[in-house]
Chains A and B, each alone.
Chain A
Amino acid sequence: MDSLHGILHGLSVAMQPTHLLYTLIGTFIGTMISHLPGIGPSAGIALLIPVTFGMDPATALMMLAGIYYGCMYGGAVTAILLNTPGDAAAVMTVLDGYPLARKGRAASTLAIAAVSSFIAGTMGVTALAFVAAPLAAIALHFGPTEYFGLIFFALSTVSALTGDSLAKGLLATFLGLLLATIGIDLQSGVPRFTMGLVELQDRVNFLVVVVGLFAIAEVSRMVEGTLEGTLHTVKVQGKLWFTREEWRRARPAIFRGSAVGFFCGAAPGLGGTIAAMLSYILEKKVSKHPEQFGHGAIEGVAAPEAATNADTCGAFVHLLALGVPGSGATAVIMGAFIMYGIQPGPMLFNSHPDLVWGLIASMYIGNAMLLVLNLPLVGVLARILYVPPGVLLCIILGIASAGVYSFNYDTFDLFMALGFGVLGYAFRKLDIPKAPLLFGLILGHTLEQSFRQAMTISSGDVTVFLRSPIAAGLLFCAAVSIIMSAWAKRKPREVLGIAPGAAKEQSAEG
């Protein structure tokens, strides 16, 4: 099925009433979650996965994807009104969004953010549809050697580009790989590192780790905010639309931001935050009034918002085509895929065309829904900002607990989630990025299997990885990404002079 037919077929799947309803629910929940400072898409999706039990996979994945891009869409609201990014990627929107809101332009800034997100999302989904299927066709020729190279490359870039320290990125990745080795080895039947616990024989539950590491750990951030924080919210006033002059300035920024965002999303490990940063830098460089940036330039809102939303679509490219997640949130969605017994990757387009094209097409519909949600209803949705954080953190903990228990009906999972919550807190305090751990955990099993299969085929000859041009190329790229990262770490942040605390938000979501 070619891409155009795929989209048309997908639209017929996505337009089914149940799918429409759950796409709407997903986008609505995503928007709500994005209004909670500190709770990002990974935590939001992880919290809501138990709610999808019993649904058919296509419906569930449409809803989870809706939460993801809904989160990215709505992250601008807290950035503009509260001076706090709703998700890590909205960190750049704060720089000009909040000053604009303080000047009485909150309504028009929100409108520009919503329209930018809609245009970028639509462009991104179109690019996703036309890139993912051909890429999947190429990946069908991949053997274990190439898969090892690909996963190694993905892990390297995530380690190298997430967080402020290469050592800490690598540490988190290896911790994730360590967790992936726990449980019964499928090839030999030997239990590994289970410490005699039966519960660990079936490997560490990915969703328990995600809920602990993201949702429960993020509660600690809210506790700190409740104890010491003072948040000043700007009220939404005036007509929720922008002027002709604002649109003229924002339009090219939206298109440039969309392109930057999609490419960043399609490169594993870069993520929405870097996409937003790069698009912001680009806009500042090409602007005739760079001095306005940081004081309320509309391009400074339009470009990063477009970039973060296009990045979301880019991140789906390798998840769907290669079976390798592109961000922390897509790693969680990949966990959901596996939970439903579906292996994302090149075979997906052949084995589950309804699901994959339906999912892609649902993003068009979801984007349109988000535009409606984020324009007329923004004032209503923003009321969630006024819910006391003390109440929210209790509710999040309650949902997380019920959700974790429902995975296996076992309190062992609850304690494990609590343990990972404490680990997540330690990660945050020590500035260790969480996304590489997630990548290591979810890709570790496939990495080991590919490695062992390749070694079996070659009778233990390590040079097998260098004899395949694709694998050798990917391993070379992995080495380059590590060396480049060590050479010039976090330059964009230095250029922009972003507050370290704000930049480190990226670590939470990757």
Chain B
Amino acid sequence: MKPVMPDVVLAICVIAGALVYLYADASLPLMRIGDPLGPKAFPALVGIGLLISALLLLYEAWQKHRTTEVRRHRVDFRQIGILCAMVVWTAIYYSAFEYAGYIISTLIFLFGLLSFFHRGHYRANLAIAIGFTACVDLLFSQGLGVLLPTGLLPI
């Protein structure tokens, strides 16, 4: 069973998000060219739907809180830290994707990841990174006619 608290936080976030969405919808220009509703009506219904589902979530959380014992789950900060680092590493890779080019950026990105998740096999990791990058580049550029960015490499 999950603790109730995350659901309450989620519901509050959804309510806040839905209100922002409804505000943005209200700010849209009113245009009813051959359409009695215009572009604002459907998003308004979606925003209201989000609010209703958030309220239902709060009700479910309250019911769960009443009927079951809330257990605290241990948060694995090391795991979360690794995942965050991975997201940052991927974001850096994407930032360098066009500038450095697909081959260079992917090679460094993959070798970095493999060095962590497949530790102690440096030669194999390098071979996998080079082999994978070359295969995907060939597949996309030669096989599928999709040109991946060349970046710093003159090819």
Enumerate chain A interface residues (CB-CB to B < 8 A).
Answer: 50-51, 53-54, 165-168, 170-171, 173-175, 177-178, 181, 185, 187-190, 192-193, 220, 223-224, 226-228, 388-391, 393-395, 397-399, 401-402, 405-406, 409, 411, 414-415, 418, 421-422, 425, 429-431, 448, 451-452, 455-456, 459-460, 500
Question: Closest CB of chain B to A213's CB: distance in Å?
Answer: 15
Tell me what chain B mostly uses at the interface: helix, strand, loop, or mixed: helix
* Nearest neighbor of A191 in chain B, beta-carbon distance: B28
Count of interface residues, chain B, beta-carbon cutoff 8 Å = 69
Contact B98 A411 (CB under 8 A): yes
Residues of chain B with a CB closer than 8 A to A452's CB = 35, 37, 41-42
The verdict on A394 contacting B87 (CB below 8 Å), with A54-B144, A431-B2 known, is no
Question: What are the nearest 3 A-B pairs in CB distance?
Answer: A390-B117, A167-B57, A170-B53
A-B contact number at CB 8 A: 173
21 contacts between A and B (CB under 8 A): A50-B146, A51-B144, A54-B145, A170-B52, A178-B21, A178-B43, A178-B47, A178-B50, A190-B28, A192-B28, A223-B117, A227-B78, A390-B118, A394-B118, A397-B90, A399-B136, A405-B97, A406-B146, A421-B87, A456-B34, A500-B1
Residues of chain A with a CB closer than 8 A to B116's CB = 390
Most buried by B among A174, A227, A418: A174
Enumerate chain B interface residues (CB-CB to A < 8 A).
Answer: 1-2, 6-7, 10, 14, 21, 24-25, 28-29, 31-39, 41-43, 46-47, 49-50, 52-54, 56-57, 59-60, 76, 78-79, 82-83, 86-87, 90-91, 93-95, 97-98, 102, 106, 109-110, 113-114, 116-118, 128, 132-133, 136, 139-140, 144-149
Contact B46 A401 (CB under 8 A): no
Residues of chain B with a CB closer than 8 A to A220's CB = 83, 86
Residues of chain A with a CB closer than 8 A to B59's CB = 167
* Nearest neighbor of B54 in chain A, beta-carbon distance: A171
Residues of chain A with a CB closer than 8 A to B38's CB = 188
Contact A402 B42 (CB under 8 A): no
Residues of chain B with a CB closer than 8 A to A51's CB = 139, 144
Instruction: Say which residue of A168, A181, A405 sits within 8 Å of B57 (CB atoms).
Output: A168
Contact B37 A170 (CB under 8 A): no
Contact B56 A166 (CB under 8 A): yes
